[in-house]
């Protein structure tokens, strides 16, 4: 159980276009979802935390107008990269937890490889 599905697994888009990435909890309700990105040979960096029904909380240095996060239901969060540029090319991965708290297990999607040309 506790499966998180992330879609698409990879996407190539042209500079200036927008890309939406979906993260779904398939067999549980996720009160909180986290979005990370990973540049080549770097670690995963937290971008934002989203709680269902609330505005996302963004980490310092992450542009909230560029990376739009929506968590409208307990099973779906989306990350939209608006007006993508080549420097946004990265590996994006989401994780979800059932309840709020540091001991709630975290479940990860398989990630999305974004390439902006």
Strands 90-97 and 112-116: antiparallel
Q: Does 100 bind another protein (CB under 8 A)?
A: yes
Q: Which residue in 15, 17, 110, 117 binds another protein (CB under 8 A)?
A: 110
The window from 20-28, 43-51, 65-73, 80-88 that contacts another protein (CB under 8 A) reads 43-51
Q: Where are the beta strands (DSSP E) in the chain?
A: 4-7, 10-13, 19-25, 32-38, 44-51, 57-58, 67-73, 76-81, 90-97, 106-108, 112-116
Q: Does 5 bind another protein (CB under 8 A)?
A: no
- Minimum gap (Å) between residue 36 Cβ and another protein: 8
CB 80 within 8 A of CB 19: yes
- Minimum gap (Å) between residue 95 Cβ and another protein: 7
Nearer CB in complex with another protein: 29/83? 29
Which residues would be at the binding site for another protein (CB under 8 A)?
A: 6, 32, 34, 36, 42-46, 49, 91, 93, 95, 97, 100-104, 106, 108-111, 113
């Amino acid at each position: 159980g506790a499966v998180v599905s992330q879609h698409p697994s990879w996407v190539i888009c042209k500079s200036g276009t927008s890309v939406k990435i979906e993260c779904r909890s398939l067999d549980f309700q996720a009160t909180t979802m986290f979005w990370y990105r990973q540049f080549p040979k770097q670690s995963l960096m937290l971008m934002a935390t989203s709680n269902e029904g609330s505005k996302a909380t963004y980490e310092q240095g992450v542009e909230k107008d560029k990376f739009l996060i929506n968590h409208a239901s307990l099973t779906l969060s989306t990350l939209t990269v608006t007006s993508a540029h080549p420097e946004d090319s990265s590996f994006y991965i989401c994780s979800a937890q059932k309840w709020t708290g540091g001991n709630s297990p975290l479940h990860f999607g398989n990630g999305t490889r974004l390439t902006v040309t």
